[in-house]
Structure 1
Amino acid sequence: MSCPICGKPAMEEYRPFCCKRCADIDLGRWLKGGYVIPGAAQEEDDPAPSVEPPKH
């Protein structure tokens, strides 16, 4: 198995990566939103559904 970041052979300690550096690069991509699961686009400007107060 080769490292998905640089292509070098993976090391058991960092599997599937070859070293801590490549593992950290991958983690950084996850944290910055570099990896996205495809799905329907959502508008961030849509207001949250309002809840009307109960009428007395």
Structure 2
Amino acid sequence: MATIVDCPTCGTKVEWTEKNKFRPFCSDRCKQIDLGAWAEEKYAIPAVNLPQEPDEDNSSVQ
């Protein structure tokens, strides 16, 4: 039995099999829409803000 997933773009149910060359998308169109959204920076991976440590090289500069 094949795993069924939702297309990330349109929500259509899609079989996750080797026959589906667009997986996890349902079509090339949905795949291209998703790629375009990444290119337009509509998606972003959240950054982790780490505390800033004083720069040792600049501490001796007056």
Name the TM-score class by shorter chain: 0.5 to 0.7
Q: Percent identity?
A: 44
Matched, 1:32 2:40: yes
Alignment partner, residue 23 of structure 1:
31
Distance 1:21 1:9 in 2: 15
Q: Which runs of 5+ in 2 are unaligned?
A: 50-62
Q: Could you tell me the TM-score, scaled by structure 1's length?
A: 0.62
Deviation track 1:13-50 (CA, whole Å, cap 9, x = no partner) reads 10000001100000000111011111268xxxxxxxxx
Q: Could you tell me the TM-score, scaled by structure 2's length?
A: 0.57
The structure with the largest strand share of the pair is 2
RMSD: 1.8
4+ runs of 1 displaced by more than 3 Å?
none
The structure with the largest helix share of the pair is 1
